[in-house]
Amino acid sequence: MNSKLGNHAAISLAALGVLALAACSDGGDDSFAAKACEVTTDAGTVVVGSGNPGDPSLPEPSSGYKVGMKAVTSRSYMVVSANPLATRAGCNVLKDGGSAVDAAVAVQAVLGLVEPQSSGVGGGTFMMHYDAGTKQVQAYDGRETAPAAATEDYLRYVTDAASGSPLPNARSSGRSIGTPGTVRMLELAHNDHGRKQWSSLYAPAIDLANNGFKISGRLADAIGGAASNLQRDPEASAYFLNADGTPKALGTTLKNPDYANTLGLIAQGGANAFYTGPVAQSIIDKINVTTSANGAGPITPGLTTLTDLANYQPKRREPVCSGYRSWTVCGMPPPSSGGIAVAQILGILENFQLAPLAPIPIDGEGGKPTVQGVHLISEAERLAYADRNAYVADTDFVPLPGNGIPSLLDKGYLKQRASMISLTQSIGTAQPGTFPNAQPVGLSIGLERGTSHVSIVDRYGNVVSMTTTVESSLGSYHFTRGFILNNELTDFSSAPSDATGPIANRVAANKRPRSSMAPTLVFKNNTAGARGDFLMATGSPGGSTIIQFVAKTVVGALDWGLDAQQATSLVNFGSANGPTTNVGGEHPDVDASNNGINDPLVVGLRALGHTVNTASQSSGVGTIIRTSTEGAASLTGGADPRREGIVLGDVIR
């Protein structure tokens, strides 16, 4: 066992509670200790979780968009996550000398408690890591897998004999639940890059689970929207609903001793305590449930076994890195489509001058995007999504066309794709590119939802960009030992083929479903044009629109000079291919009333042939940018005003 895991069996849960307090102490060499990991306001500092006025963890209704958020500047370390309590846990780890990966473990443990609708130990995770010492960029794949017994019709039919569809539907059945990958992946990354003892990193979440936290606006909304589905599971119903079946409301104190116990076992026994033994058996038992607790009818069980859990392995993968103007952008390779799609979008846009197309005017919310800026980026996205939908899946099972990633990111190929963009008319629906050895393929365009994102920089210069998920809000609605089980397998195409040919993202035994998650790292190029110093970490939840959210944030920072908060807050826009272009109507710089007929951006796009959708875009971007303050190196961070997240670090201002 890795030495950083320590002697798990010798650490009691009571001792972990002591460690939670110790994790809040400073390493002793930080002159900013008095206000590190606190929210700095005009009236002074506020302790997250204190319950005092101004505490950002105090529950408030889900607002859709919070106006007036400003970039946070720190001296040497920073955490951005989607929940204040999770951000605090990670920041305290950094304050105590922990690494970015250490902080990621602590953040994920808390997120699984306070926003179980988005991520947790029952789900999967992709992580991009930059090691400041070795200058190495590494991708970590903790994506869920289909069971060994899965066939290509696993989500369509109960048996290969076509004896009906999974009940009550594919998502809510045991068939949607993939073998979770988060815990094994975090352990692998911690073995590589951890500095603190594994057991100590779970202490903040265990403390919160035992002592309780108040239901936030987004969790309250999730419970309210899923109440009837949660009633099918007795454990989920008991935890999320009142005795009369009504949803537990905003501000209700939730305690989760079962989750505390699960985390305690992981803290003491490492990932093996999750993938084998009583926790694993509980997962299998829940996947095998066949009847609804509320008498609503049968549930189709999944075919996952204890062997599937025990055999799960995370993977170190080569990141997708490509040049963009004077920067290098690195993202996740397959089974995520995010890294390739973002790189293709930027590679196409490199053939256009975007700087003159910056928002007008630029304001604290990012500003009003220009018609031509949104048009060009949306057209580049149409072309990238066309390739994604046709070709990208788990490359351990289905190869990419041509020579793989180099062919898809070839500068000549992307220049040819860029030539298809008209400045005066939208493509509408783009077709995938052609490659000499590509076979006929069907299209997989299924939507994904849910998810959370975390960006972290530690005092040593190491960086984590991590996107983590249970797929849809509250996953499969199957709940055991205090955590939600994912519905990640519905990210596969349920049909194995269409009239054109086999679908790359079809189900197969032990295969990982395609994702859109796009944790991203950006580096300045050196004078020789090679990857140089770290510049930026970003990413977002949002299902298939993640790619759009990340692309607009990267362009906003690199091409338009927006700070970390402005680029994060900027109007969400883009296209997943097809005639529709999204323009996030939740943003204060967009007039979505009367279907946008009075908004010049919407009107201008429609004049170019775009079908504009002004529905709210629920991104959750978290961005950190390395910069300088008064001549000294510093970090600036932005949390998405559309969610509940905050930025913490050794704050300068």
Distance CA 465, CA 624 (A): 9
Distance CA 16, CA 200 (A): 6
Distance CA 51, CA 65 (A): 23
Cβ contact 580:385 at 8 Å: no
Whose structure tokens read 């596969």? Answer: 492
How many other CB atoms are there within 10 angstroms of residue 416's CB atom? Answer: 13
Q: How far is CA 193 from CA 101, 268, 292, 303, 496, in A?
A: 6, 19, 43, 35, 39
* Backbone angles phi and psi of 275, in degrees to 5: -90, -5
Helical packing angle, 100-114 and 84-95, nearest 10°: 160
Distance CA 226, CA 230 (A): 6
Of 293, 414, 393, the C-alpha closest to 344 is: 414
- Catalytic site includes residue 304: no
Assign 484 to helix, strand or coil. strand
Tokens of 406: 């180099």
Assign 613 to helix, strand or coil. strand
Of 167, 183, 285, 300, the C-alpha closest to 234 is: 285
Beta strands in 472-621 (DSSP E): 479-480, 483-484, 520-525, 531-538, 573-574, 580-583, 611-613
> Biggest alpha carbon distance in the chain?
70
The H-or-E segment that residue 330 falls in is strand 327-331
Of 262, 451, 480, 581, which is the active-site residue?
Answer: 451
Q: 3-state secondary structure string, 81-112?
A: ECCHHHHHHHHHHHHCCCCHHHHHHHHHHHHH
Distance CA 108, CA 259 (A): 13
* DSSP assignments along 194-225, one per residue: --S-GGGGGHHHHHHHHH-EE--HHHHHHHHH
Cβ contact 133:460 at 8 Å: yes
Per-position b or e across 497-524, b if 16+ CB within 10 A of its CB: eeeeebbbbbbbbbbbbbbbbbbbbbbe
Beta strands in 162-318 (DSSP E): 213-214, 253-254, 315-317
Strand partners of residue 634: 627
Q: Check residue 580 and report its DSSP letter.
A: E
Number of H helices, E strands in the chain: 18, 22
CA geometry: angle at 21 spanning 20 and 23, to 5°? Answer: 65
Beta strands in 341-390 (DSSP E): none
Task: Give the residue numbers annotated as catalytic, written as ranges.
Answer: 451
